[in-house]
Structure 1
Amino acid sequence: MRAPAKSKLIKVTPPRVLAGGFALIIIIGSFLLNLPAASADGQSMRYIDALFTATSATCVTGLIIVDTGVHFSLFGQIVLLLMVQLGGLGFMTMATWFTLALKRRVSLRDRLLLKESMNHANIDGIVRLIIRVFLYSITIEGIAALYFMLRWSQEMPLGKAAYFGLFHSVSIFNNAGFELFGGFRSLTPYVNDLGINLVSMMLIFFGGIGFVVISELIEFPKTRKLSLHSKVVLSTNGILVLAGAVLILIFEFTNAKTLGSMPWDTKLVASFFQSMTLRSAGVNTLDIAELRTATQFLMIVMMFIGAAPGSTGGGIRLTTFAILVGAFIAMLRGKEDVVLFRHRLPAKDIYKAVTFTLTAVVFLSFATMLLSTLQDQDFLKILFETTSAFGTVGLSMGLTADLTFAGKIVMICVMFIGRVGLVTLAFALQPNPKKELYRYPEGKIIIG
């Protein structure tokens, strides 16, 4: 029997494995959520709703069609929690941890997959990083869960408080945004609670800066140094959070439905919380639908930027935004090189940032136009929802619960692509690449 031509074989590449792995988790999760045991009333939910919820959990988005704390049984909530943890840390991270626990060797192929899933520069030290990621994540989630348990034990039985603490700690750290309080309220009842706000912001911060940066921060007392990547992520994140908080405070200061009636200290904390959650968290202490249009549009811009590479968040990423700003400043100053923290960036990184951003703009524009034809809703609300899905943020102005069948399909695709990544998905779908054997002559065109 004649063997098939090599060029026709489907090559198993890291992007294809990652995209396929996320899709498999979503499919398995959707069937589990569709079981009668997953619903509090013992009735199976519609499969499209189960698929939507499974996608939202695995892609750590947090957009919901049904009330998580009311509709799902304990079994259904645990399924959601497992999908959130798998989606946040990455299924390759979890698989590697189990491989190491069984004292098996991690193959070169697995290391390449881990490098791709973590957005790491190379495979050197990738297994050590995975071990740290798992231990750091469990430690951070555990500390926050303990605080939440102690705080909520004042309002509910200790067992329920412990479960609520664990669920919300995992959900917030992984930037999923699922909550169990009911009524689609998120954390709005705790807008005046400084402790819950600070602990939640701590979880959002660590979940959004990426595991490489977390590892370097924890090792900093010993090494006394940070990589260029960590410096860019931390500085960009700090600037965006501060700028967002100031603008939200200005825009909402006199809005009686949000910050207007609050004391000064609560206004400041609420402004910073809303700005921090835009990094991709999905929990909120103010009613998003009651915010002014200027604030909602600001949130769209911030959600589009998103979190850091290798984190539990989405968007075009903090580093991409930093490179674009650096290129913009360099062009205005007439400089040829883009320099960040006294390091010159290679041209390929700038091309990659521009390509990724333009691809994201085109994709998001298409998804928004498509959803506009399927939903009879205000355009800003549709743009807000699609951007929230793409950035895996999970904030909502109330559109998700009213989505049509076709609208749910569109949003499922947006959430999946937002989590897997446009570039990763493009590499996964493209045919086996061929090396160009020639280059065209250079040409010049007039710009501006």
Structure 2
Amino acid sequence: MRNWHPRSTIASYQRMRRNGVFQASPPAVLAGGFLLLILIGTVLLSLPISQREPFSVLSAFFTATSAVTITGLTVIDVSQSLTHFGQIVLALLVQIGGLGFVTLAVVAALTLGRRISLKQQALVLEAFNQTSVVKVRRAAFAVFRISITIQLAGALILFLWWLQDKAWLTALYHALFYAGIAFNQAGFSLNADNLMPYAGSPVILLTISSLIILGGIGFTVLSEVWQKRRWSHFSVYTRAIIIATLCLNLFGFVMIFLLESGNPGTLGPMSWDMRLLNAWMQAITTRTAGFNSVDTAQLTDSTALLMMALMFIGGGSLSTASGIKVGTFIVLLAAVRSYLLHREEIVLMKRSISPEIVRKSLALLLVTTFSAFMGIFLMTLLEDAPFLDIAFEVISALSTTGLSRDLTMNLSQPSQFLLTVLMFVGRIGPLTLIYSLATQRRSRVRYPESHFQVG
């Protein structure tokens, strides 16, 4: 490896000025960009103009990280501790973090007519699930059009509903805030009890749950549905994601309804129609959104474990959701099915899946699982709290969901810092892993096979 020298940095900068190509690795750009945005958010949230009730710089840093990584965990009461200015800063951080620096960087580069380096193209193609930069151009701008259209439509419905009992300016403020937060899967609320005050409002819960689904299914899927509009014309990926999303949502809905209907702390006291509504809301929000219309601390252990599994899976690729992603989950299921049926090829909807995609999915699963294990292990050393609450908190942070069993505000400072690392890793880690796999060097050396026992 060559030794670093200042002249090499100067030369790289001069080449960038001359050629319009940025030479830094995409993971470094992404991580640096997110970190810079978190620091800017920390400074803004630390200003007196942002604080209705004073809180520490660490709390501001935690909240900014949670916003940029579109998580929603918070150690402060957003409704009481932040002024309107602070809440607007929070919402803007969520918007930028939700759309992602990959999208923003590509759109900026294309708009300015800059060329994208080959390494950056590899990351961009992976992130947008496309095969050419021309298609990436369309997908990048479609992200903004789709995002703005859906959020404005949701905000309009919420505004008209809240206009019944709120002043028009307050109704508009709440509508824009919740539409943006829901679509970007963040889970912040202008109420101390999150969405629990609206547990009896079908319009609010169904609108917010619809925004969560549309934001979490993936811009690639939304764009293809809008353009082709016929099931037979959809790609295998789009059809698989739609079916899997529907199955996961329905499974979560039915299970939460059955498990919590007899729980006096959650769905028990509600009427049958309200039980169905709130079971649906909790099933949808668990897919990395972080809202809660019932008290999550009162959930049964079985429901908590189910929600952890749904959080771990997350949403679709190129979406505002996180987790290992639905596509990864589908590929792993297809691989297991092929192995059990003794098939050479891994087949999905009469199409084969390449071994490289399977390896990538397996690597993402193992890295995320290891990160979750280490996070849980470290927090058990730091906190004297029930194990299930700790595991729930760690999975929620790593999957950038934002649900909590009333543990976040009671954590020590080391644990709060650990959660910020997990949120950051959960948002940046998968992209970095995908880049490393997409740009790995292939060796020409081949070694003889060895029999190795597993299982």
Aligned residue in 2 for 1:406: 414
Report if the CA contact (8 A) 2:213-2:284 is conserved: yes
2:86 maps to 76
Say which SS state the counterpart of residue 134 (structure 1) adopts. helix
The alpha carbon displacement at 1:278 in A equals 1.4
Distance 1:161 1:216, change over 3 A: same
Q: 1:21 to 1:112 in 2, by over 3 A?
A: farther
For the 8 Å contact 1:356–1:423, the answer to whether it is kept is no
Counterpart residue identity of residue 205, structure 1: I
User: Deviations for 1:334-364, whole angstroms, at most 9, x for unmatched residues?
Assistant: 1122111111101111111111111111110
1:178 aligns with 2:188: yes
Q: Which amino acid aligns with 1:73?
A: T
The residue identity in structure 1 corresponding to 2:135 is G
Corresponding residue pairs, total: 438
Pick from 37, 42, 52: which aligns with 1:30? 42
**1:64–1:120 CA distance, 2 compared to 1 (3 A):** farther
Kindly report which structure 2 residues correspond to 1:18-97, keeping only aligned pairs within 5 A, or say none. 18-41=30-53, 43=54, 45-97=55-107
Q: Which of 432, 438, 446 pairs up with 2:445?
A: 438
Contact 1:40/1:73 (CA < 8 Å) preserved in 2? yes
SS in 2 for 1:339: strand
Residues 260-302 of structure 1, C-alpha deviations (whole Å, 9 max, x = no match): 1222222112111111111111111111111111000110111
Paired amino acid for 1:78: I
What CA distance in whole angstroms lies between the structure 2 residues aligned with 1:346 and 1:355? 15
Q: Distance in 1 between matches of 2:382 and 2:435?
A: 29
The residue type paired with residue 408 of structure 2 is T
SS of match in other structure, 1:128: helix
Deviation digits for residues 75-121 of structure 1 (CA, Å, limit 9, x no counterpart)? 11111111100000113433555666xx6314223755643544545
Q: Distance in 1 between matches of 2:4 and 2:103?
A: 34
CA contact (8 A) 1:111 1:127 kept: no
2:336 is matched with which residue? 328
Give me the whole-angstrom Cα distance separating, in 1, the residues matched to 2:449 and 2:198: 60
Partners of 1:160 and 1:447 in 2: CA distance: 61
What's the counterpart of residue 16 of structure 2?
none
- Please state whether the residue corresponding to 1:354 is helix, strand or coil: helix
Counterparts of 1:37 and 1:113 in 2: how far apart (Å)?
39
In 2, distance between residues paired with 1:278 and 1:54? Answer: 21
CA distance in structure 2 between the aligned counterparts of 1:35 and 1:372, rounded to whole angstroms: 34
**Equivalent residue letter for 1:268:** L
1:173 positional shift = 0.2
Stretches of structure 2 that go unaligned for 5 or more consecutive residues are: 13-22
Higher mean alpha-carbon deviation, 115-124 vs 373-382, is at 115-124
Change (3 A) 1:4 1:417: closer
2:297 paired residue among 289, 301, 310: 289
**Percent same amino acid among aligned pairs?**
36
CA RMSD of aligned residues (A): 2.4
Runs of 4+ in structure 1 over 2 Å off:
2-6, 8-11, 91-100, 106-124, 220-224, 425-428, 432-437
Q: Per-residue displacement from partner, 1:21-53 (whole Å, max 9, x unpaired)?
A: 111111111111111111014x4x311111110
1:99 and 1:142 mapped to 2: Cα distance?
26
**What code does the residue aligned with 1:54 have?**
A
How many angstroms apart in 2 are the aligned matches of 1:91 and 1:336? 39
Moved more, 167-176 or 22-31: 22-31
Is 1:145 the equivalent of 2:155?
yes
Moved more, 116-125 or 350-359: 116-125
Q: Deviations over 1:368-415 (max 9, x none)?
A: 100111111101000000100111111110111011111011100000
| Separation (CA, whole Å) in 2 of partners of 1:280 and 1:89 | 15
Per the normalisation by structure 1, the TM-score is 0.92
Alignment of 1:40-439 (within 5 A): 40-41=52-53, 43=54, 45-97=55-107, 104-109=112-117, 114-181=124-191, 183=192, 185-221=193-229, 225-422=233-430, 424=432, 435-439=442-446
Residues 423/441 of structure 1: CA separation in 2 closer, same or farther (3 Å cut)? farther
Pair 1:250–1:73, CA change in 2 (3 A): same
